[in-house]
């Protein structure tokens, strides 16, 4: 029996294949219940505190709606109005929230160095007895990728039979590598065939690649890395393309490096090199006509709004399993 009660949800690496499958099965079940109008108030009278140290549309709204649909309540804490501004520590903040609420949802990234935001999330997690849910940090975006896996299951049912390309794409904004890193781990744990495509310099953290390749050996999946976008999309069933920053470069180095790769954009002619029905994914927000053309995002291949919708259902599963 899988029991996730009171666990933190920091990184997919902390979970087994069976545990991820349980979250996905629960997400599909809760989505069916929501569609049919069946009550599923699994978190009656429970509360979560949501701290977002970076902007959000999807994550914030889907968590708040998730708690309402589960019979509980989500409090959005505006960091600028908290005593953090008067230098109250994260340790004290965590200890206080622990006395009021049943879980903490936290987003933080773009600090001085890679891994620093994760350290802050861990500090909060270690100083609260309640679950901490990672709403995106500089290393992982586990909630996004559970919604992505749910979306892939809806379209392909058997994750083992779908060829997914997770590609870097050009943007002038520096975005964390949380999505490709969590996706690589999920692919390994769930036995998916994943090709990571990126220009040299945009390698994901080697720790994630090693974990995923080892997991793939057990689950029958495969993880490969290529540096040619045209080659990568050949025979792809799904192209998930977004920009991310290189974890080995500082901000200035990355900005100078990425301008050489403006041709890493997903277009309809490029998509047509994949399988005939190849689909496009992006976690959003999308830098339109930089990462991908409007034609692809707004066309029949696009899964981006299904992914956004499934954030709600996947997070309801995470909340229900951790907090009930
Ligand atoms: N994909 C995602 O996390 O979206 P938001 O930044 O809008 O929450």
- The C-alpha atoms of residue 28 and residue 48 are separated, in whole angstroms, by 22
d(CA 196, CA 241) in angstroms, rounded, equals 10
Please confirm whether the linkage preceding 285 is cis (ω < 30° from 0).
yes
Phi first, then psi: give them for residue 298, nearest 5 degrees: -95, 0
**Chain centroid to CA 211:** 17
Which of 50, 53, 58 should be mutated for ligand 1, with most atoms under 8 A from CB?
58
**What's the confidence (pLDDT) of residue 157?**
84
User: Measured between alpha carbons, how far is 169 from 61 in angstroms, rounded to an integer?
Assistant: 26
Please return the burial class of 174, using the count of CB atoms within 10 Å of its CB with bins 0-12, 13-18 and 19+: middle
Q: What is the pLDDT along the chain (324 residues), one digit of tens a residue?
A: 899 999 999 999 999 999 999 999 999 999 999 999 999 999 999 999 999 999 999 999 999 999 999 999 999 999 999 999 999 999 999 999 999 999 999 999 989 899 999 999 999 999 999 999 999 999 999 999 999 999 999 999 899 999 999 999 999 999 999 999 999 999 999 999 999 999 999 999 999 999 999 999 999 999 999 999 999 999 999 999 999 999 889 999 999 999 999 999 999 999 999 999 999 999 999 999 999 999 999 999 999 999 999 999 999 999 999 999
Residue 292 near residue 5 (C-beta atoms within 8 A): no
Supply the DSSP symbol for 111.
-
Entry pTM: 0.98
In this structure, are residues 111 and 82 in contact, taking their beta carbons and an 8 Å threshold? no
Nearest CA to ligand 1 atom 4: 58
DSSP β-bridge partners for residue 132: 104
Q: What is the 3-state secondary structure (H, E, C) of 277-302?
A: CCEEECCCCCCECCCECHHHHCCCCE
Residues with CB under 6 A from ligand 1: 56-59, 136, 144, 283-285
Measured N-to-C along each axis, helices 304-323 and 58-69 cross at an angle, to the nearest 10 degrees, of 50
Buried b (16+ CB within 10 A) or exposed e, 221-236: bbbeeeeebeebbeeb
- Which of 136, 147, 287 to mutate for ligand 1's pocket (most ligand atoms within 8 Å of CB)? 136
Check residue 107 and give left, alpha or beta (phi > 0: left; psi -120 to 50: alpha): beta
Q: CA–CA separation, 112 vs 324, rounded Å?
A: 36
Cis peptide before 108 (omega within 30 of 0): no
Atom of ligand 1 minimally distant from the CA of 54: 6
Q: pLDDT at position 247, please? A: 86
308 Cα–ligand 1 center, Å? 8
Task: Say what the pLDDT of residue 248 is.
Answer: 87
Output phi, psi for 281, to 5 deg: -125, 150
Let me know: does 160 contact 93? Beta carbons within 8 Å.
no
Terminal alpha carbon distance of the chain: 16
Q: In the prediction, which pLDDT does 230 show?
A: 97
Distance 217 CA to ligand 1 centre (A): 32
Helix (H) or strand (E) holding 144: helix 142-156
| Contacts (Cβ under 8 Å, ≥6 apart) of 159 | 149, 152, 153, 190, 191, 192
Ligand 1, pocket-test mutation among 59, 62, 64, 287, most atoms within 8 A of CB: 59
């Amino acid at each position: 029996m899988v029991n996730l009660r009171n666990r933190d949800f920091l990184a997919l690496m902390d979970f087994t294949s069976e545990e991820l499958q349980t979250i996905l099965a629960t997400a599909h079940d809760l989505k069916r219940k929501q569609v049919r109008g069946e009550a599923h108030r699994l978190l009656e009278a429970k509360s979560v505190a949501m701290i977002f140290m970076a902007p959000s549309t999807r994550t914030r709204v889907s968590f708040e709606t998730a708690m309402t649909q589960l019979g509980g309540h989500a409090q959005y804490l505006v960091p600028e109005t908290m005593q953090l501004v008067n230098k109250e520590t994260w340790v004290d903040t965590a200890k206080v929230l622990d006395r009021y609420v049943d879980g903490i949802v936290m987003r933080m990234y773009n600090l001085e160095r890679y891994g620093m935001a994760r350290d802050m999330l861990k500090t909060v997690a270690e100083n609260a007895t309640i679950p901490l849910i990672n709403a995106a940090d500089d290393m992982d975006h586990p909630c996004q990728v559970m919604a992505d896996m749910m979306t892939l299951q809806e379209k392909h049912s058997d994750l083992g039979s779908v060829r997914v390309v997770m590609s870097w794409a050009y943007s002038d904004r520096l975005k964390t590598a949380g999505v490709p890193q969590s996706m690589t781990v999920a692919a390994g744990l769930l036995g998916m065939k994943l090709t990571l495509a990126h220009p040299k310099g945009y390698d994901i953290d080697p720790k994630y690649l090693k974990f995923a390749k080892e997991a793939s050996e057990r689950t029958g999946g495969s993880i490969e890395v290529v540096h040619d976008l045209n080659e990568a999309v050949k025979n792809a069933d799904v192209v998930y393309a977004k920009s991310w920053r290189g974890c080995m470069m500082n901000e200035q180095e990355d900005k100078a490096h990425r301008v050489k790769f403006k041709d890493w954009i997903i277009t309809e002619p490029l998509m047509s090199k994949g399988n005939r029905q190849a689909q496009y994914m992006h976690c959003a927000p999308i830098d339109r006509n930089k990462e991908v053309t409007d034609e692809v995002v707004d066309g029949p291949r696009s899964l981006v709004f299904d992914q956004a919708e499934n954030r709600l259902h996947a997070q309801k599963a995470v909340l229900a399993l951790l907090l009930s």
